[in-house]
């Protein structure tokens, strides 16, 4: 016959199972903390080895730093000063891509030191073109401007498409070309040459036939819309005078008994109020149209022109006495590390 387990034997088995479980959990925690401790020990050991390495070769690093500092001071003394000038522009008629292409082209000519081609493109002398070192164009927009662009973009869509547009996705996929403003920076060894090339940069966009056609069509559309708004204002003004005369005649009629009709007078007043609102709306549209005409009067609006004189690039990031000592120390570190590694490998083979 099968033996029946007593309650005491079942309780003892449960205590053994719980004891084993807690033991496994404890072993797991011990292994985990031992692993973390080994990582910190390894990091500490590596730091100590590196400090010992520096202590062993401190004189060599000091010599490299002094030589680099001396050479850096000398190069800073003989080098040409460089100046940076910045201009903020607003491209119209989707001309931002052409602007980026042109500025990047100028930058390639400056990097290649092709002074003749750069002088021809900029309309300056070859000697002045040789002073141009770098061209950079970047978008200039903050979160508020991006939200305004999103609002303008959504307004141009139909109601069905608006529901599928999310502002977060729009901001994540925001293209620099979509920014309203862009900055053009010119670095040169001459502090006045940037101002001289400003007209050439603007004309390189403005003389494009496609953009000229777009500007011409825009001017015609704005003029047409302006004439329509003004015509509507005249018509509304005529209606206002008509309603005013009608209401004056109604007011001059003698009252017959006590039969007073407020419905018709109320209707006339509502019409008069609607006309006033329509006039306000048309005036607001004219104001917006004038702003649009001003903004699109040029293919490339200059918000902030190049200054007459550029600002000299100064500071540690533009100094040889910072980068050359750093480079010498880095080269010394690499060479000494290779020697130490070679010695370690030789001893390893012997062992």
Taking only the tens of pLDDT, the chain with its 351 residues reads 444 555 555 555 555 566 777 778 888 888 888 889 889 988 998 899 888 888 888 999 999 999 999 998 888 888 888 999 999 999 999 899 999 999 999 999 999 999 999 999 999 999 999 999 999 999 876 666 666 666 766 666 666 666 666 666 666 666 677 788 999 999 999 999 999 999 999 999 999 999 999 999 999 999 999 889 888 888 888 887 777 777 777 777 765 544 444 444 445 557 767 777 888 888 888 888 888 888 888 999 999 999 999 998 888 888 888 899 999 999 999 999 898 888 888 887 766
Helix, strand, coil in percent for the chain, rounding step 5: 70, 10, 20
Q: Is residue 94 part of a domain?
A: yes
Same domain, residue pair 190 and 129: yes
- Closest to 279 (Cα-Cα) out of 242, 233, 313, 326: 233
Report residue 118 as tokens. 């750069």
Q: Does residue 323 lie within any of the structural domains?
A: yes
Are 234 and 332 part of one and the same domain? no
Same domain, 282 and 240: yes
- Please report which helix (H) or strand (E) contains residue 304, including its range: strand 300-304
Domain residues for the domain of 239 are 82-141+179-248+265-312
Q: CA-CA distance, 147 to 153, in Å (whole number)?
A: 10
Q: Does residue 153 lie in a domain region? A: no
- Is 258 within a domain? no
Query: Is 280 contained in some domain?
Result: yes
Q: What does the alpha-carbon distance between residue 76 and residue 318 come to, in Å, rounded to a whole number?
A: 9
| Cα(116)–Cα(104) distance, integer angstroms | 17
Bridge partners of 185? 86, 136
- Whether 230 and 277 share a structural domain: yes
> CA–CA separation, 149 vs 111, rounded Å?
35
Question: Would you say residue 326 lies in a domain?
Answer: yes
d(CA 21, CA 175): 58
Domains in the chain, number: 2
347 within a domain of the structure (yes/no): no
Angle between helices 115-122 and 193-206 (to 10 degrees): 70
The answer as to whether 254 is a domain residue is: no
Structural tokens at position 340: 């130490």
CA 293 to chain centre: 27
């Amino acid at each position: 016959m099968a033996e029946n387990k007593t309650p005491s034997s079942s309780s003892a088995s449960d205590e053994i199972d719980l004891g084993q479980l807690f033991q496994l959990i404890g072993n797991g925690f011990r292994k985990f903390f031992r692993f973390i401790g080994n990582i910190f020990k390894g990091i500490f050991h590596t730091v100590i080895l590196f400090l010992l390495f520096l202590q062993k070769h401190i004189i060599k690093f000091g010599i490299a730093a002094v030589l680099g500092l001396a050479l850096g001071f000398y190069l800073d003394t003989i080098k040409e000063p460089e100046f940076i000038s910045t201009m903020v522009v607003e491209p119209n008629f989707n001309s931002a891509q052409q602007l980026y292409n042109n500025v990047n082209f100028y930058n390639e000519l400056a990097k290649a030191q092709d002074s003749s081609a750069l002088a021809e493109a900029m309309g300056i002398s070859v000697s002045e073109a040789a002073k141009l070192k770098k061209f950079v164009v970047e978008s200039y927009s903050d979160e508020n401007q991006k939200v305004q662009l999103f609002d303008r973009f959504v307004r141009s869509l139909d109601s069905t498409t608006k529901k599928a547009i999310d502002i977060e996705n729009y901001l994540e996929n925001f293209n620099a070309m979509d920014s309203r403003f862009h900055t053009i920076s010119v670095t040169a060894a001459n502090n006045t040459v940037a101002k001289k090339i400003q007209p050439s940069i603007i004309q390189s966009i403005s003389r494009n036939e496609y953009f000229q056609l777009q500007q011409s069509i825009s001017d015609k559309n704005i003029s047409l819309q302006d004439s329509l708004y003004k015509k509507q204002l005249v018509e509304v003004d005529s209606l206002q005078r008509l309603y005013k005369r009608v209401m004056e005649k109604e007011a001059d009629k003698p009252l017959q008994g006590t039969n007073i009709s407020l419905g018709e007078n109320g209707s006339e007043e509502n019409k008069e109020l609607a006309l006033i609102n329509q006039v306000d709306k048309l005036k607001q549209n004219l104001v917006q149209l004038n702003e649009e005409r001003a903004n699109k009067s040029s293919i490339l609006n200059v918000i902030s022109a190049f200054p007459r004189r550029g600002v000299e690039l100064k500071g540690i990031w533009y100094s040889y006495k910072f980068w050359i000592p750093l480079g010498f120390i880095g080269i010394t570190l690499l060479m000494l590390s290779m020697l130490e590694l070679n010695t370690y490998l030789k001893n390893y083979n012997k062992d």
